[in-house]
Amino acid sequence: MKNEKTIIFGGSGFIGTHLTRFLLDNELVDRIYCVDISEPRIKSKEIEFIRHDIRKPFNLDVDSVDTIYNLAAVHKTPGHEDREYFETNILGAQNVCNFAKDNNIRTILFTSSISCYGPGEELKTEDSLLTPKSSYGSSKMAAEFIHREWLKEDLSRRLVILRPGVVFGEGEGGNFSRLYKSMKNRYFFFPGRKDTKKACIYVKDLVRLAYEMTRSNERLQVYNMTYPESPRIDDIVKTISDVCGVHNSDIVIPGSLLIGISYIFMMFSKIIGKKVNICPDRVKKLINSTNISGRKLANSSYKIRYLLKEAISDWYKDCNYKGLF
């Protein structure tokens, strides 16, 4: 095991857990400081948990650290008040960068998001104009600028900015898990269309590549963390059906109808004073494409190992062939 120490802000989350497991399984560090508001899912003598809210300034008691992974964020959209995205993602970025500056830590990896581009059918590359349409995307764009300002202050610093699409894999509890569950229980339908493009990446590839990028001597690296071409939703559905043996539906419900129904649910939720999971923003998010190019990544020295089918198969295996959880 290397004599190296790292801090993972947001280390108890989905991506942070997989990153921790990758670093430990491959004996790449001898100390991981997990900074989060909840305890890590992995227990190990190499992990030191520090409970802290990154919205608040801090000066943590840690030994000399080589690398910071800033994964902490409020990210579920919709699902939070606008101010929550800005408080966590912007204040957190500023506090992490201040901590790195005060402790002479020269390498930061920051997970941004493809939400910085905004939804749309047109292909987006790393050089595309950032035009976020959500508070989450806007807060991530601002956080990118904060990290870039930290980089400019010292020529010895290195910064990696990753813009992942939908990250899927064991323990995600998100889009792919919900999709699998709806297919298994035979209530899945295509919202609005079958050809919606959804940029995505397998979590095991994401964390491995994140580590590899922190080993580079480049001062600034910015990558869309997605497949070279964003798969269509019907391709994702077929892949899950083929690998897991669950129901594959051809039913398409018009988007206008779904949006209308969502408005009714939203009004009903206000009347009863209880939130419901169906809302216009969520439906629009399902219908709109995230057509993000992963060509820069594919043409680099960093290689994705799991294509969509291999990724779903590996995830299914990790769950003992009982489902996608």
Which pLDDT score is estimated for 258? 79
Which pLDDT score is estimated for 286? 79
Dihedrals phi, psi of 89, to nearest 5 degrees? -75, -30
- Inform me whether the pLDDT recorded for 184 exceeds 90: yes
Position of tokens 């800033």?
70
Mean pLDDT score of the chain, rounded to an integer?
92
Arithmetic mean of pLDDT, 173-184: 93
Nearest one of 91, 84, 93, 67 to 148, comparing CA atoms: 93
Residue-wise pLDDT tens digits, 215-230:
999 999 999 999 999 9
Cα 12 to chain centroid distance, Å, stands at 14
Residue-wise pLDDT tens digits, 84-98:
878 889 999 999 999
Does residue 138 contact residue 132 with C-beta atoms inside 8 Å? Answer: yes
Percent of the chain whose pLDDT exceeds 90 = 77
- Inform me whether the pLDDT recorded for 37 exceeds 70: yes
pLDDT band at 281 (very low <50, low <70, confident <90, very high): low
Which pLDDT score is estimated for 72? 87
Residues facing 198 on adjacent strands:
290
pLDDT band at 266 (very low <50, low <70, confident <90, very high): confident
- Inform me whether the pLDDT recorded for 1 exceeds 70: no
Report d(CA 35, CA 237) in Å as an integer: 36
Report d(CA 187, CA 248) in Å as an integer: 10
Nearest one of 266, 285, 311, 300 to 114, comparing CA atoms: 285
Nearest one of 176, 146, 178 to 161, comparing CA atoms: 146
* List of residues 6+ apart from 268 with CB closer than 8 A: 276
Report d(CA 317, CA 301) in Å as an integer: 28
Which pLDDT score is estimated for 265? 72
- Inform me whether the pLDDT recorded for 80 exceeds 60: no
Arithmetic mean of pLDDT, 178-207: 95
Residue-wise pLDDT tens digits, 229-251:
999 999 999 999 999 999 998 99
Average the pLDDT over each of 153-167, 258-272, 280-294 and give the range with the smallest value: 258-272
Dihedrals phi, psi of 317, to nearest 5 degrees? -65, -45
Q: What pTM does this model have?
A: 0.93
Average the pLDDT over each of 111-120, 171-180, 258-267 and give the range with the smallest value: 258-267
Does residue 193 contact residue 253 with C-beta atoms inside 8 Å? Answer: no
Name the residue with higher pLDDT: 95 or 279: 95
- Inform me whether the pLDDT recorded for 120 exceeds 60: yes
Q: Domains in the chain, please, with CATH?
A: 5-172+200-227+292-308 (3.40.50.720)
Report d(CA 239, CA 179) in Å as an integer: 12
CA count, 13 A, side-chain hemisphere, 1: 13
For residue 152, the one-letter residue type is K
- Inform me whether the pLDDT recorded for 278 exceeds 90: no
